[in-house]
Structure 1
């Protein structure tokens, strides 16, 4: 019979094979950097940031005077008047400057500036979201790749066992049933191998799309994380209180909500200025001529030149409730911003609590899975001895082998669940920025 200890050692040697570090491979840091540079979600967020910057510039124009020139050509006719020229030309330049609007322009500039700041923080939150997606895809690909190596090892061992059993059958040492079961085991392992290959392909596609790489680009990941054998070799988890404090201080979304509330308060004040007195200073310089064939163009332009200056005062009396409606609408927006902050704070707290418990649970599951693999390995050695002594059927022996493979897959999943939870906690603490 095949030496089971040799099989177990070969199995773990292949299953623990790590990704080779080579040129063209991607580390987690490379993936995060690429996502920041190429993510379409981030690109959209940056465009919104640019739009907010333009809004600030537009708001500031309210503090500047306006100047315009006009040229008006007119053709006219009086049916009962004879000997008229039918043409009039008016030229002019005018300007205006708002001396007082109750502070509405200044408040609007402050509001737009705060909105720009909130948008920039929202961009940082979008970046966090993209990083979280990359982390999930990256760890999923690592786990799928390691499970594929386990499946590859299982197929090779099953094929080697089938070849060995074929020789034993030809020598009359085993029954046809045992040989058929061994062949069936090879087919089952090959099916599991195909499933594992599909999982790797799906995980790689997800990561590639997050990195905005072309579908014809071949890339591999190089991960030092695969060499970590136990959670005991990792840094201890922080206390939940420390984690919560760090996450709240480093969360761009909460900061964005806080700034948005201040911007909404400014908008409420701007809306209230609709009933304020407005004082405007205006100036105008104009001239013109009226003739079709007249030779006195120069004199008309000279003596028709007129300069004027005006001071306009607008006093709102009745606006049909427009100002009151704008104030109420602004107050609703302000309340919505406050509610959004509270909701985001609760969401963050819930996510942190789940992540923290998941990290602690994953560490314990990882340790338990290590012990389970060791136990199943020892059980397989015993099963091999019983099989050689004729005290165990081949079916029971295969069951024990499958138990070892399941334990190895459980170990892999627990390991990368733990690593993912820890990385996500670091992300929430702002350590990956």
Structure 2
């Protein structure tokens, strides 16, 4: 009995796991937290953060210990007037600290901080791109499911028509050819439904691959209903552009990179300034002769008596550096020009993307409105054809033609609707509106 309960519990757990439906917010969150490209960039952020810590640590002094052992073979010692052998050692600690180097340490810290910010903005840009792709794939699933509903509805109507045709044929009211045509229509509609199911599964599979899931078979998404009466939101193109310039991480990163390039110029100019370094040494020494007649104190006594404290300040003034400092400044200025051009390129890209999004949103809305009107006309035509067929004044071929036209019109309207929704999401994205807003 215990094993039976365990098996039932395991099956229930597996079923509940398989039936989990992912919301769009969950999908976007998962993608931004688990995508390998995003994770790689976050690891790179940690490396760059270490560079900032390294730059901060340069203000600290260097401290080191040393011990030196020597054995000397001398040819003559004045005290004994002959060769001698001596063992000596010294030990101590030394330290040095930069007092002034033209502001280089502060500039390196400021540049490292800017680099950290630039790396984070790079990650944000990747997350935005992935989020847009997720929304596009998600809407593609919704589209294919709506197309599946349309195909299933058309199949149900065709099956009803086949049932009616069968009864009419049995009663001798229609020819065998009309019944065969109804059967062929049902067969075609079943194929359409099967094809639509495959497209739904394919779109779910594509999204699972984008999420880099280990197994796509248990993955499914929550169904959202997008009404057919959606309207075009009002946007001021210039306002959207200003918002995009201020919020898009690609532009912000280029501006931060420009600040880094300006820091590089200041850093290069420090090469013309002097460097002042302070130093301190504390140590002692010991020596022992192996020759008779050369007496030495004990090593503990020598270490105590030979203690030394050495304080020093050194100044290094660049006089001629083979024009390296001048070339470094010129290279930094060229880098600044490249960074300034990159800012303009990013703004130009944003400008083109926003204008394209604005144009696509408006044009796709017009296409959607035209598709809705086509559906209304096709519905009237199909309804009239059905009534004419029921009255016996229209054959089955013309009825199927009217119904196929309605199916095509509904499919085109669904495609136009989801295309318009995605185009609006892109425009919302540049306007600073969350991608998941309105899709819940």
> What range is the shorter-chain TM-score in?
0.7 to 0.9
Matched, 1:165 2:165: yes
Q: Which aligned pairs between 1:10-409 and structure 2 lie closer than 5 A?
A: 24-73=20-69, 84=85, 88-216=88-216, 218-224=218-224, 226-232=225-231, 236-290=233-287, 296-409=298-411
Q: Distance in 2 between matches of 1:396 and 1:59?
A: 80
State the match for 1:9 in structure 2: none
Query: Per the alignment, in what secondary structure is the counterpart of residue 58 of structure 2?
Result: helix
Q: Distance in 1 between matches of 2:249 and 2:262?
A: 20
Shift of 1:407: 0.7
Q: Alpha-carbon deviations, 1:155-193, whole Å to 9, x = none?
A: 333344334434444544433433333333333323333
Contact 1:25 1:222 (C-alpha < 8 Å) held by counterparts: yes
Contact 2:271 2:325 (C-alpha < 8 Å) held by counterparts: yes
Shift of 1:304: 3.7
Q: Distance in 1 between matches of 2:74 and 2:122?
A: 65
Q: Distance in 2 between matches of 1:292 and 1:359?
A: 95
After superposition, the Cα gap between the structure-2 partners of 1:336 and 1:187, relative to the gap in structure 1 and judged at 3 Å, is farther
Q: Distance in 1 between matches of 2:323 and 2:184?
A: 83
Structure 2: runs of 5 or more not aligned:
1-18, 77-81, 291-295, 436-440
Contact 1:169 1:176 (C-alpha < 8 Å) held by counterparts: yes
The CA RMSD measured in Å over matched residues stands at: 2.9
Shift of 1:56: 1.4
Shift of 1:376: 0.7
Shift of 1:248: 2.1
Contact 2:74 2:84 (C-alpha < 8 Å) held by counterparts: no
Shift of 1:76: 6.9
Indicate the structure (1 or 2) with the bigger Cα radius of gyration: 2
Q: Distance in 1 between matches of 2:198 and 2:339?
A: 44
Contact 2:205 2:216 (C-alpha < 8 Å) held by counterparts: no
After superposition, the Cα gap between the structure-2 partners of 1:139 and 1:308, relative to the gap in structure 1 and judged at 3 Å, is same
Shift of 1:243: 2.0
After superposition, the Cα gap between the structure-2 partners of 1:178 and 1:98, relative to the gap in structure 1 and judged at 3 Å, is same
Query: Per the alignment, in what secondary structure is the counterpart of residue 318 of structure 2?
Result: coil
State the match for 1:20 in structure 2: none
Contact 1:288 1:300 (C-alpha < 8 Å) held by counterparts: yes
Q: Alpha-carbon deviations, 1:305-347, whole Å to 9, x = none?
A: 3322222121223323332332233223222211111111111
Q: Distance in 1 between matches of 2:153 and 2:254?
A: 52
Q: Distance in 2 between matches of 1:393 and 1:309?
A: 111
Q: Distance in 1 between matches of 2:72 and 2:140?
A: 80
Q: Distance in 2 between matches of 1:148 and 1:292?
A: 101
Shift of 1:415: 1.2
Shift of 1:295: 8.4
After superposition, the Cα gap between the structure-2 partners of 1:281 and 1:182, relative to the gap in structure 1 and judged at 3 Å, is same
Query: Per the alignment, in what secondary structure is the counterpart of residue 366 of structure 2?
Result: helix
Query: Per the alignment, in what secondary structure is the counterpart of residue 94 of structure 2?
Result: strand
Shift of 1:283: 1.2
Contact 1:230 1:366 (C-alpha < 8 Å) held by counterparts: no
> After the TM superposition, which of the residue ranges 409-418 and 247-256 deviates more from structure 2?
247-256
Contact 2:208 2:216 (C-alpha < 8 Å) held by counterparts: no
Query: Per the alignment, in what secondary structure is the counterpart of residue 406 of structure 1?
Result: helix
Shift of 1:349: 1.0
Q: Distance in 1 between matches of 2:73 and 2:167?
A: 118
Contact 2:71 2:85 (C-alpha < 8 Å) held by counterparts: no
Query: Per the alignment, in what secondary structure is the counterpart of residue 318 of structure 1?
Result: coil
Contact 1:71 1:90 (C-alpha < 8 Å) held by counterparts: yes
